[in-house]
A and B are shown apart, each in its own frame.
Chain A
């Protein structure tokens, strides 16, 4: 394999793996938040804000992977 082929693979693996964990985590968090809103619709506003913050925290992990992928592609 040439160097650029390895870099391309590495970038793909970086973003693919870094979406897996946060994807599962965000799904769990969103599901629980939906449940909470269904059970207590009057608290929907606060739950939504907190859910967005929690999702953003998890999203950061994916974004780190994305940034690494960009950096790797920049080295090609």
Chain B
């Protein structure tokens, strides 16, 4: 697509490095630097930065613990927490001046959200097989048992649709928001876009919440009924 061609900055061999990729590198660098600074000298009485980091981790763990249970929330926290922090930061980067022109907001690209969804899909299937065994996994695809022939294709489709809907939801929301803000900016450059930006303050957080919430719900399903 023309959009993609315009975004290519330079290429390493056959790999084209787009604006989105460079924006993600910058985001990752900023996040890594922040977490390095926050956890460099851990103290019993935390400083400002360490306090903020601890609060973020604790509230996120409580949030996931409500769905997954405490043990599982701790086990999957690296994945879910990373998803949440990355999505939140890249969503909020759409509020910075120059978003979409100077740098690209990663989550407004379908490739990025599809990659996130693909990761979650692989993890969910793998955890499902690990917890229930191959037989149990196949059996879980044929639930309710008395209709197993009918339910197998339905369950397979359901599993395949999960990552697609995850990716499309995040991409559609963010891209749609960006387009709407742009259109409002075209109508009246001063004032009107603020309306959209105030809304995005709320929606950016909710979208990140929804993505991680759904991944953790799929994980609870994958772990079986015992919990």
Interface residues of A (CB under 8 A from B): 45-46, 49, 52-53, 56, 59-60, 63-64, 66-67, 70, 74
Q: Can you sample 29 A-B contacts with CB below 8 Å?
A: A45-B66, A46-B66, A49-B66, A49-B67, A49-B213, A52-B206, A52-B209, A52-B210, A52-B213, A53-B210, A53-B213, A53-B214, A53-B217, A56-B213, A60-B165, A60-B168, A63-B168, A63-B169, A63-B172, A63-B173, A64-B168, A64-B172, A66-B172, A66-B176, A67-B168, A67-B171, A67-B172, A70-B175, A74-B1
Q: Is the interface of B mostly helix, strand, loop or mixed?
A: helix
Interface residues of B (CB under 8 A from A): 1, 66-67, 165, 168-169, 171-173, 175-176, 206, 209-210, 213-214, 217
CA distance A64 to B172 in the complex (A): 8
* B89 nearest CB across to chain A (Å): 20
For the complex of A and B, the 6 pairs showing the least CB-CB separation, nearest first, are A63-B172, A56-B210, A60-B165, A66-B172, A63-B169, A60-B169
From A46, A56, A70, give the contact of B214 (CB < 8 A).
Answer: A56
CA distance A64 to B168 in the complex (A): 7
CA distance A66 to B210 in the complex (A): 18
Given contacts A56-B213, A60-B168, 15 further A-B contacts (CB under 8 A): A49-B213, A52-B209, A53-B210, A56-B169, A56-B210, A60-B165, A60-B169, A63-B169, A63-B173, A63-B176, A64-B168, A66-B172, A66-B176, A67-B171, A74-B1
